[in-house]
Structure 1
Amino acid sequence: MSTVTIAVFGATGNQGGAVVDALLDHEARVRALVRDPQSDRAQALAARGVELAVVRADDPASLAAALTAVEGFYFMTPEANSLEEIEVEIRIGTALVDAAADASVPHVVFNSVFGADRETGVPHHDSKHWVEEYLRKSGLRATMVRPTAFMENFTSVMAPSLEHGEIVLRLPLPEDVALKMISIRDIGRVAAALLLGTAEAPGGAVELVGDELTGPRIAAAFGARAGLPARYEALPLSVLPNEFDQAMFRQFAEAAEHPSDLAVVRSIEPATLDLAEWIRATSWTAPTNAAGS
């Protein structure tokens, strides 16, 4: 096992869990900062050899102690869906940066969000911009990883349906707009490479994009996998449940105006999945319970 120890805040979540997976694949030592060491997810990490450090976001001493003698620190802030939760997110992000500075952590990787290099008007993205700025001013060596939309959303909130023998994908996105996307697995792999020093992000930040496709091309990729015809329907933003989500999809559309350099991500993680590869890797199959299918 490597003598390098990397601390991970958010290890029991999907993105942080992917970072842990990638670090363990490289035989790094992992210290997970957790609130409840007895939770099922924390215990599952411990069973894989992950060290558990119990912390409280409102206890600076516990955070600094957990970051003592580590070579790198990955953290992300809680997802916020209200102004009150945004305040909590910023408070936690600030506390983690302060703790990393107190512990003199050599390298910090912050899991932010695409577009967080500037204020966007999307409240739960601008909160990460604020944390990024605070981290930059801390004097720590820091790298920002900025994921785009998750490919995994196509198994849940953005899942295509099967209707009358046809794959149908509906999103609140114009059909000529290319959606930038990344797999959660690759978020973990890129972050691990940066933390372990096997790669660097140009300018200290990288937008995580594994593919960018328009709605019709996304639908066609799922149709090809299912061996069925496919179509795309663009929906109005009004179908989204709240202003946060509407602002986010507006940003998806605006981001499409600036094509991504996919080669940058692949220079860090050469095996980064495009959408067709992700569909195959996850063994996606067409749904079978849609009416009229």
Structure 2
Amino acid sequence: MSKLISVFGGTGQQGGAVVKALLNDGFKVRTFTRNTESETAKKLKDCGVEVIKCDESKPKEEIEKALKDSYGVFLVTNSSGYPDKETEYGCKVADAALLSGVQHFVFSTLPDPRELSNGKYNDFIDFNSKVDIEKYIRNLSKQNSHFISSFVSAPMYFQNFKTYFPLQKHTDSKDGSTYYSLDLPGKPDLKLDHGDINDLGPLVSEQFKNPTKYSGQVIPLSAQELTGPELTDTFTKVLGKKVVYNYVPSKEYAKSNVYVEAPYIAHLYDYFSENPYFGHFDNTISKKILKLTTFEEFLKKSNFQLD
């Protein structure tokens, strides 16, 4: 009989990738959403996913009931959806999973900027919350040997160039030709871990298939460490249009309207300029488990288009 995995955030990018991979690997899947009649929820139902109206904000008893008969749980928490409650909600789901008899809990975590920067960067709430949830889950596993926990960590998504960091369109003043720029506050030689978030799904499925092997481990998804110019060179190669990298110093970027959360992104890149994206995590692990999608492959298969 196929094991049942309950997935939080199944209508989002990380959760959606996990749902797809689990189905492909023969697991039964249950997911939770606030709106069971949304188009995404309906599509999941059509794929054989059990969709239940529930989310992390519900009382622990209700979550415990929703997790009934689940062998495993995948949890990704939403920093933007409930920034002040993320740690509370994440720990509550872990408690509910333990009480409901879940045997394997996989959480999407992040490195700890507070530790890596010796306290210099201690105000990244989204990072801090996930680190605190991870520590809580690890402690539950330590106290309850039957409750295995494993972890994944997401990189800079290739998908972000379709949403958060769209290319800017320009007209050359000399010849009137059109070109595009990628404007970011990272110096041209700054390498950051990138990947196709869809590859996170098979990594999580691999953890559920091999619980003992991956017990306590963090698997960071890192297909490539890329600089800004390496990204724009790939855009140019695949799309056949001129794309250049435009380094915008963080103080200037923070005041711009390039992105709605520009001050946060500027501050984040200041941190990345001093610390590796994945910090103390081993960013080579995922490549040993799965053939990961490169940026060039992503652009081709996603039919990426410029206006």
TM-score relative to the length of structure 2: 0.83
Structure-2 separation of matches of 1:45 and 1:13: 12
**2:257 is matched with which residue?**
none
- Pair 1:156 & 2:167 matched: no
Query: SS in structure 1 opposite 2:220?
Result: strand
Distance 1:273 1:246, change over 3 A: same
RMSD across aligned positions (CA): 2.6
Tell me, yes or no, if the aligned pair for 1:116 and 1:128 is still in contact at 8 Å: no
Distance 1:201 1:170, change over 3 A: farther
**1:60 is matched with which residue?**
60
Distance 1:51 1:193, change over 3 A: same
Q: Which of 286, 295, 299 is the aligned partner of 1:275?
A: 295
Tell me, yes or no, if the aligned pair for 2:103 and 2:148 is still in contact at 8 Å: yes
**1:16 is matched with which residue?**
15
**Offset at residue 233 of structure 1 (A):** 1.1
**2:139 is matched with which residue?**
137
Query: SS in structure 1 opposite 2:293?
Result: coil
Q: Deviations over 1:124-165 (max 9, x none)?
A: 111111111111111231111111111101112222234334
Q: Which of 244, 247, 250 is the aligned partner of 2:270?
A: 250
**Offset at residue 89 of structure 1 (A):** 1.1
Distance 1:33 1:157, change over 3 A: closer
Distance 1:223 1:266, change over 3 A: same
Tell me, yes or no, if the aligned pair for 1:24 and 1:30 is still in contact at 8 Å: yes
Distance 1:262 1:154, change over 3 A: same
| Structure 1: unaligned runs, 5 residues or longer | 289-293
1:99-118 aligned within 5 A: 99-115=96-112, 118=115
**Offset at residue 98 of structure 1 (A):** 0.6
Query: SS in structure 1 opposite 2:29?
Result: strand
Query: SS in structure 1 opposite 2:274?
Result: helix
Q: Which of 180, 183, 191 is the aligned partner of 2:196?
A: 183
Structure-1 separation of matches of 2:264 and 2:189: 23
**Offset at residue 86 of structure 1 (A):** 2.4
Structure-2 separation of matches of 1:187 and 1:112: 12
1:115-130 aligned within 5 A: 115=112, 118=115, 120-121=121-122, 122-130=124-132
| Structure 2: unaligned runs, 5 residues or longer | 142-146, 171-176, 255-260
Amino acid across the alignment from 2:40? R
TM-score relative to the length of structure 1: 0.86
Distance 1:37 1:182, change over 3 A: same
Structure-2 separation of matches of 1:206 and 1:247: 25
- Pair 1:171 & 2:187 matched: no
Tell me, yes or no, if the aligned pair for 2:148 and 2:216 is still in contact at 8 Å: no
**Offset at residue 212 of structure 1 (A):** 1.1
**Comparing 6-15 with 158-167, which one deviates more in the overlay?**
158-167
Tell me, yes or no, if the aligned pair for 2:149 and 2:215 is still in contact at 8 Å: no
Distance 1:262 1:111, change over 3 A: closer
